[in-house]
Amino acid sequence: MNQFEQQRLDVNGMTLSVYSAGPESGRPVWLLHGFPECWYSWRSQMTALADAGYRVYAPEMRGYGDSSAPEEIEAYQILTLCADIQGAMDLLGHTDVCVIGHDWGAPVAWHLGLLEPERVRVLGAMSVPFGGRPKRPAIDIMREANAGRFNYIVYFQEPGVAEAELNADIERSMRLLIGGTGEVFLQPKPADARLLEGVPTPTTFPDWCNETDFAVYRDTLSKQGFRGPLNWYRNFRTNWESTEFLAGRQVLQPTVFLLGEDDPVGKLEAYTIKKMGELVPRLEQHVLKDCGHWIQNEQAERVNGILLEFLGRHYAA
């Protein structure tokens, strides 16, 4: 990891830890991680992009690692998360950037594209598509669609419950969340069940995450615990209310979307993915076979190739 530089930026009333790589003169590419990951999930992309001449920035998003992790739920609204990155870009003098997000980092990337059409020239998203602003809060739709059965996002809503379960044994929690194949999130069970209930703990690490890699994920989540990361899920209603001014807007930047063929999110968001081109007219989509949710690690070389080819056409180093 010594090829990566860490700096702590004071922005938006918080400390944002950012890892970077590549020549200082390179065009900036921001890589935004999801749940429950960390900057290190971009390690392969950071190296490949830096070698190609880009200056790459991978923040530890609010709630993670060495970045600030306020207790308040409302501190994790989508516009606040965007403002963290916007503040860092301002501080670093970035007026022309590419932003790429995975999982929860994808909604932040999508919104930055809407909020900053002049600064954000090129976009990338993995796993989570852009569906525009729904007619009512997504959490209401989820509650209705999953009445009487377990849904992990609904389970995450009650403050204190999910974090108590996940923080009780972070080693086991991360083995199940990172090392599993999606059954943790999608297994059928009663509505009052717990997330990790009934799922055996993996005894080996996946091919893309050896013991040393896993230690970075585990240690990062151990610094602050799961409270902050879970609070991202508790602002669906607030996010819906605060983004009314963005309703109906299209994402007009050149955009690449990557999805693992076996990613559970792809099944949950199949309709949105199918209709996404109507909202993102300059969209290119790639579905990677034999690949799950942790796409940039499971098929790092394939992802790197797609990103470098796409950026070469739309955002040359």
Question: The domain 5-314 belongs to what CATH superfamily?
Answer: Alpha/Beta hydrolase fold, catalytic domain (3.40.50.1820)
Tokens 């970077």, residue?
A: 20
Report the alpha-carbon distance of residue 61 to residue 14 in Å, rounded: 11
Give the strand pairing for 5-11 and 14-21. Answer: antiparallel
Whole-number Å distance between alpha carbons of 279 and 190: 36
How far are the Cα atoms of 73, 175, 263, 274 from residue 258, in angstroms, in the given order? Answer: 30, 24, 11, 13
Q: Which helix (H) or strand (E) holds 256?
A: strand 255-260
Alpha carbon 124 to chain centroid, angstroms: 11
Per-residue pLDDT of the chain (317 residues), as tens digits, is 458 999 999 999 999 999 999 999 999 999 999 999 999 999 999 999 999 999 999 999 999 999 999 999 999 999 999 999 999 999 999 999 999 999 999 999 999 999 999 999 999 999 999 999 999 999 999 999 999 899 999 999 999 999 999 999 999 999 999 876 566 888 889 999 999 988 888 889 999 999 999 999 999 999 999 999 999 999 999 999 999 999 999 999 999 999 999 998 998 899 999 999 999 999 999 999 999 999 999 999 999 999 999 999 999 98
| Catalytic residue ranges | 103, 293
Which token pair is 44?
């392969």
